[in-house]
Amino acid sequence: MSLKQLRDYLKSKVTGKTLYALPKQWFISNYPGKLSMKDGHFFVDPYEYYAFVIDKILENDAGLDYSKSVAQIKGETDANWLRKSKMYGSLPRTTVAYNHKGFGAFEPEDIFGYKESGTFLKMIGILPYLKEMGINVLYMLPISKMSDVFKKGEIGSPYAVKNPVELDPSYHDPLLDGIDVNEQFKALVQAAHMLGIRVVLDFIPRTAARDSDLIAEHPDWFYWIKIEEVASYKPPHIPELPFKIPDPEDLEIVYSNEEVKTHLGKFTLSPDKLDPKKWQKVKKMKGDILSNIAREFGIITPPGFSDWINDPQPTWDDVTFLRLYLDHPVESQKYLPKDQPPYVLFDVVKSSKFPGNEPNKELWEYLSNIIPSYQQRFGIDGARIDMGHALPSQLQDMIISKAKEIDPAFAFIAEELEMKNDEKAKREGYDCILGNSWYAVARPRELYKFVEETLPYLKVPFIASCETPDTPRIVVRENGDKLKYLAPALLYFAPNAIPYVNTGQEIEEIQPMNLGLDNNIFGKTVLPPDDQFYGKLAFFDY
């Protein structure tokens, strides 16, 4: 469905009833439609309003094929466009979440049938707002189909991907009832491209949701543990070693550890290997595939955990690792029992450093074709690879090269937080790094060194962020009332900087989206206790 067809559909549904509340920041001032105001809200007919927004966007239509990437439209042959980017980072279900009924508490879908959580249609609605801010890249956290099993809050994490090639159905807007969510996303990308805004997405090739759709056809792509071991499952503690990424010389210490030996005993073969005939029956059963496997085989996919030895963070209960090699890490094999089933440990997770001899070729093909699928279906402009640092170099090369074959100017962002790894990222085919400017801006002494001694000499640009979806908000930092102005001004004009605005930063949001970096459990309690969103995080809650 084209953007014009979406506009025409909305116009055909106009009711004239102004029951849909909008915040003033999104509102287009010259809106000619029916409008009422109450308690600081603008109330409109949503069909009429969104049709008007699309009409305004269509004024920029130059008759080009906006289903292609902006680089393909312009004939660009490299990703140097990143150096002129101004990026807005968004988790759509949060960015455009709003109480559209205008009274009471926020609810995902309200009494009028309006979707108060974010949708692709509402993202189209804020594109003019982003354009006015000077944004020319919309970077979205994962929008693929999410799992709601083992969730950490009210809703599943966007990083617990149940199916990487399907879009999450929650982004469907009921205002577009009958129009597939894929068509709604196509329209969003077309609208963005029409305004000169490129679309970059997050992809997660190292992990999957523990109840991934892939299990039904490929149970051997996953690791499995006995179900009675779930309660005690955690990364083993290695008292002889510090908190560190494993090195080859650490392996003897790791594998001689008694806790590691117990850990290895928790694993079992995949259900198709345990009992092939029984598996054929179980895979055809109705209901959730993981529940059926747990009931019939007594096994389950294990939670993920960090590739750092002695990392204090808990297990990642909503995701599991994909089995990238059919054998064990080469350097670890001599320490393993003869019939050791496939297992997860620090070295296995860090497959970039500890590869096996037998790549899981079918899985690698699948993973390397995910981004091309989004390029061909939607015309996206770039991608960030989650945990790319843990991927085998050959797989990482496949992922990057296949996307670049389709679009040489397709941009790749490395999840590289250490600035010193800029040259490594460039060598691996990345066009920029995340970096750690969000850390430096909160520490004045380190910031001077960061700007003077690091930034001018980077081999690739970095994301100049005062805050990210994983960090505290800039306004709650020490001296945040000053930093919220000074830090962006300094960072955005720094050498090799790609200015980045985290969703909500522009309105001085104080609640973090996650606690993953430079934060602690108290970081989620910055709102007043009587606030509806007190203690909630956008990664896991409405």
Domain boundary among 383, 400, 415: 415
The token pair at 307 is 């590739």
Token code pair at residue 272: 């198709």
Give the tens place of pLDDT for each residue, 379-423.
Answer: 999 999 999 999 999 999 999 999 999 999 999 999 999 999 999
The stretch 254-271 carries a mean pLDDT of 98
Task: Return the percentage of the chain with pLDDT > 90, whole number.
Answer: 97
55 burial level (CB within 10 Å; 0-12, 13-18, 19+): middle
- Rg over alpha carbons for the chain, rounded to the nearest Å, is 24
Domain extent at residue 409: 3-203+369-415
Q: Please report, rounded to a whole number, the percentage of residues in the chain having pLDDT higher than 70.
A: 100
pLDDT at 38: 87
Predicted confidence band of residue 1 (pLDDT cuts 50, 70, 90): confident
User: For residues 179 and 442, what is the distance between their CA atoms, to the nearest angstrom?
Assistant: 45
| CB-CB contact of 153 with 540 (8 Å) | yes
- Please state the pTM of the whole predicted model: 0.97
CB 404 within 8 A of CB 376: no
- Assess whether 283 and 408 both reside in one domain: no
pLDDT-based confidence at residue 39 (cuts at 50, 70, 90): confident
Same domain, yes or no: 348 and 409: no
Same domain, 66 and 140: yes
Residue 296 has pLDDT above 90, yes or no: yes
- Clarify whether residues 75 and 169 are in a common domain: yes
Residue 452 — pLDDT band, cuts 50, 70, 90? very high
CB 336 within 8 A of CB 255: yes
Q: What is the pLDDT of residue 29?
A: 85
**Residue 215 to residues 219, 323, 325, Cα–Cα distance (Å):** 5, 12, 16
What's the pLDDT at 198? 99
Q: Do 388 and 279 share a structural domain?
A: no
pLDDT tens digit string along 468-498? Answer: 999 999 999 999 999 999 999 999 999 999 9
> Which pLDDT does position 527 carry in this prediction?
97
Mean pLDDT for the stretch of residues 2-13: 95
472 belongs to a structural domain: no
* Range name among 432-436, 440-444, 463-467 with the lowest pLDDT average: 440-444
Distances (CA, A) of 218 to 46, 165, 273, 283, 365: 44, 16, 11, 10, 13
Mean pLDDT (whole number) for 197-203: 99
Q: What is the mean pLDDT of residues 186-192?
A: 98
Whether residues 144 and 289 share a domain: the answer is: no
- Asked whether residue 263 is assigned to any structural domain, the reply reads yes
Per the CB < 8 A criterion, the answer to whether 539 and 515 are in contact is no
Q: What pLDDT sits at residue 40?
A: 82
Residues 31 and 179 occupy one common structural domain: yes
pLDDT above 80 for 20: yes
CATH of the domain at 14: 3.20.20.80
Please provide the average confidence, as pLDDT, over all residues in the chain: 97
